[in-house]
Structure 1
Amino acid sequence: MSVSPARLLAALILSLAASAVSAQDRSWTYLGWANITTNDGTGDFQDRWQSFSTSTSFLFGPEGTRELPYAFGDLIEVRLGTQIVTPANTLTPAPGDRRAAGALRAGLFTHFARGGWDFGLGAGAEAVGPSTQVLALQDRFHSVAGFDRLAPAVLAGQIGNAVRPMGHAEAAYAIAIGDEMTFRPFAEAHVGLEAYARVGFDLLVGPGYRSGVIARDYVSGQPYQILKDVNEPGVSFLFGADLARVFSSALLPDPAYTLTPARARVRGGLLVDGEVGSVFYGLTYLSPEFTAQPEGQFVGSVQIRLKF
């Protein structure tokens, strides 16, 4: 008997919700939060295509957690995100360029480890369209800051309102190379506003990625630490790459757009942990996402964490 994706998503949401409800029975506590912001302006200093996104994570689990537990549902992450895509020219877009879109996403995730594998499973919802007010807020900010604004025709032609159930799964295997380096291949699948399957790797060097709970930014793929006060002071580096097959995209609707056969990302990053906090900057190359996109782009990701 076949099971529909919608039923699988509903079952995962109910499982995660049941874990959250039983938090008091597991001596759960708030373990920390993290935010990473990705912007084309901090990458190749432009404002186009993958223009802006944020990912914010709040983690709950057993007090004293320093690494992934064995049990499904022992760690619950609440993840919120925004995403803005625009044409390359927001005043007079070229024919065939992508339409603007503002998206919101929210989900519950659980992280656990089995047999050397790190798993992250999540479910929730993703929304796009004028009702999210994401593009309207960006336009107001650009107006105040003196940046280029979205032309009225671009706002009027943005991707329409839609809400999709979201499901996400990632599996990664950490291979230690000496004391300072970890090679971490991974595979992930996602359904929501976009449906895709992806494989890739991260090469992590330094104390910043030895333990804790690592999430992944939606747009850039940059890994980031959620747990607070888990990293040792020092400098860490990362290099990674991945390749995705995108099966459908509400942000590039058919038949107006033809998706590229493969979507590639190549990234590097520098993390500095100190006594008062940490600073991360990462640079990611994103290959074209639709066949009419003339070239790829570089986006920059920033994470700043302060200790209180």
Structure 2
Amino acid sequence: MLRFLVPVLAALLLLPVGAQATERERLGYGRLISNDSIGEFRDRERTGSYVSSRVWGPQWTGRLPDRFGQLIELRLGVEVLAPANLRRPQAGSRPWAGALSVGMHTHFERDAAEYSVGAAIYATGPQTHLDDLQRGIHDIIDATSPSDRVLDNQIEDGFHPTVLVEIGRSVPIGARTSLRPFVEGQAGIETFVRAGFDLTFGDITRGEMLVRDSTTGQRYRVVQSRDATGFAFVVGADIARVSDSVFLPSDRSYDLTPRRDRVRAGVHWQGKRASAFYGLTWLGKEYETQPDHQLVGSVRIKIDF
């Protein structure tokens, strides 16, 4: 697998200095915060994540360019995963894990199909210092912090090259509704194949660029239009077959569930000088001894000064 990952990652990292670089301009910036505490007010499993994207490409026309490498997205991510009990987890509980990622993605459209191709490097383990960050935040808000026992058992230091490909197609249904089925495949930090859909109703997000958050599947706005104000409501779901996960290592006797389900809903709002998003995602069990499914909230607020 590494023989395939390394050349893909190298090609993507070299794209900004290639021949097309002079044709690019900064097109937009997007981010999304997800946390179970703003979903079900509990601290467990996929407990928190943050992702941000910066996009460069040719002048935005309301649709993706038709060539690989013309539009480039730099994506940075942070994620914390934790057992249901941060002090004395039950046998079979998920190990604590922290991951930092940096990746490069290109997005393009051919024959009405939208492609996203990317590569990233994930860092895991105590080297990320995300355990210190969670303890510090929990001390400030007077929440339970992970015990030494939990952190001593966390996923170890490592670097994990990862590639991701998504293919989707937006199908208009009337003047204000669109359906976007998609398929996705990833190899690296977690290896899976996934299929699902997103359904959007409303006056905004048409002619914009949205990218998918890996934790929840929610799509967040990166290239936004100010031509329309109002709301857009989104619902979606997907099913994945996960064959390998660094977060749930088989050598620690974790058995992955036969499938991984996600169901989500959210609302985008666009005003004259501000925009916001709030979404909820139901996440099914990821491993056989997981105590229960969970609900995660996602939020983004943008104010133009």
Cα offset, 1:65, TM superposition = 4.5
Query: Could you say if the C-alpha distance between residues 287 and 144 of structure 1 is closer, same or farther in structure 2, counting changes exceeding 3 Å?
Result: same
The CA deviation string for residues 57-77 of structure 1, in whole angstroms up to 9 with x for no partner, is 000112345321101111000
The CA deviation string for residues 223-281 of structure 1, in whole angstroms up to 9 with x for no partner, is 11111445621110001000000000110111421100000000000111101111100
d(CA) in 1 for partners of 2:254 and 2:14? Answer: 40
d(CA) in 2 for partners of 1:239 and 1:216? Answer: 13
d(CA) in 2 for partners of 1:298 and 1:160? Answer: 27
Q: How many residues align?
A: 304
Q: Note if 1:149 corresponds to 2:145.
A: yes
Cα offset, 1:220, TM superposition = 0.4
- What amino acid sits opposite 1:112 in the alignment? F
Q: Note if 1:71 corresponds to 2:106.
A: no
Alignment-derived partner of residue 52 in structure 1: 48
Alignment-derived partner of residue 290 in structure 2: 293
* TM-score, normalising length: structure 2: 0.96
d(CA) in 1 for partners of 2:9 and 2:162? Answer: 10
Alignment-derived partner of residue 118 in structure 2: 122
Kept in 1, the 8 Å contact 2:135–2:145? The answer is yes
- What amino acid sits opposite 1:295 in the alignment? D
Kept in 2, the 8 Å contact 1:213–1:227? The answer is yes
d(CA) in 2 for partners of 1:84 and 1:153? Answer: 17
Alignment-derived partner of residue 14 in structure 1: 10
Give the alignment partner of residue 61 of structure 1, picking from 47, 57, 66: 57
Identity of aligned residues (%): 38
* TM-score, normalising length: structure 1: 0.95
Which portions of structure 1, spanning 4 or more consecutive aligned residues, are displaced by more than 6 angstroms? none
Unpaired runs of 5+ residues, structure 1, are none
Kept in 2, the 8 Å contact 1:83–1:103? The answer is yes
Alignment-derived partner of residue 195 in structure 1: 191
Moved more, 23-32 or 277-286: 23-32
Alignment-derived partner of residue 280 in structure 2: 283
Give the alignment partner of residue 217 of structure 1, picking from 203, 213, 218: 213
Unpaired runs of 5+ residues, structure 2, are none
Q: Note if 1:260 corresponds to 2:253.
A: no
> Pairwise mapping of residues 94-105 of structure 1 onto structure 2 (< 5 A)?
94-105=90-101
Query: Could you say if the C-alpha distance between residues 231 and 245 of structure 1 is closer, same or farther in structure 2, counting changes exceeding 3 Å?
Result: farther
d(CA) in 1 for partners of 2:237 and 2:99? Answer: 25
Alignment-derived partner of residue 242 in structure 1: 238
Kept in 2, the 8 Å contact 1:211–1:230? The answer is no
The CA deviation string for residues 176-211 of structure 1, in whole angstroms up to 9 with x for no partner, is 001100000000011121111100000011133312
Kept in 2, the 8 Å contact 1:26–1:62? The answer is no
Moved more, 61-70 or 79-88: 61-70
Tell me the SS of whatever aligns to 2:18. helix
Tell me the SS of whatever aligns to 1:150. coil
Give the alignment partner of residue 172 of structure 2, picking from 176, 198, 202: 176
d(CA) in 2 for partners of 1:269 and 1:43? Answer: 12
d(CA) in 1 for partners of 2:204 and 2:132? Answer: 37
Tell me the SS of whatever aligns to 2:223. coil
Cα offset, 1:40, TM superposition = 0.4
d(CA) in 1 for partners of 2:11 and 2:98? Answer: 29
- What amino acid sits opposite 2:181 in the alignment? P
Kept in 2, the 8 Å contact 1:209–1:231? The answer is no
Moved more, 114-123 or 155-164: 155-164
- What amino acid sits opposite 2:295 in the alignment? F
Q: Note if 1:167 corresponds to 2:184.
A: no
Alignment-derived partner of residue 201 in structure 2: 205
Tell me the SS of whatever aligns to 1:112. strand
d(CA) in 1 for partners of 2:275 and 2:159? Answer: 36
Tell me the SS of whatever aligns to 2:73. strand
Cα offset, 1:17, TM superposition = 2.9
Tell me the SS of whatever aligns to 1:17. helix
Tell me the SS of whatever aligns to 1:179. coil
The CA deviation string for residues 147-179 of structure 1, in whole angstroms up to 9 with x for no partner, is 111111111111111111110000001110011
Cα offset, 1:212, TM superposition = 2.1
Q: Note if 1:133 corresponds to 2:129.
A: yes
Q: Note if 1:305 corresponds to 2:299.
A: no
Query: Could you say if the C-alpha distance between residues 25 and 298 of structure 1 is closer, same or farther in structure 2, counting changes exceeding 3 Å?
Result: closer
The CA deviation string for residues 125-158 of structure 1, in whole angstroms up to 9 with x for no partner, is 1111010111211111111221111111111111
Tell me the SS of whatever aligns to 1:195. strand
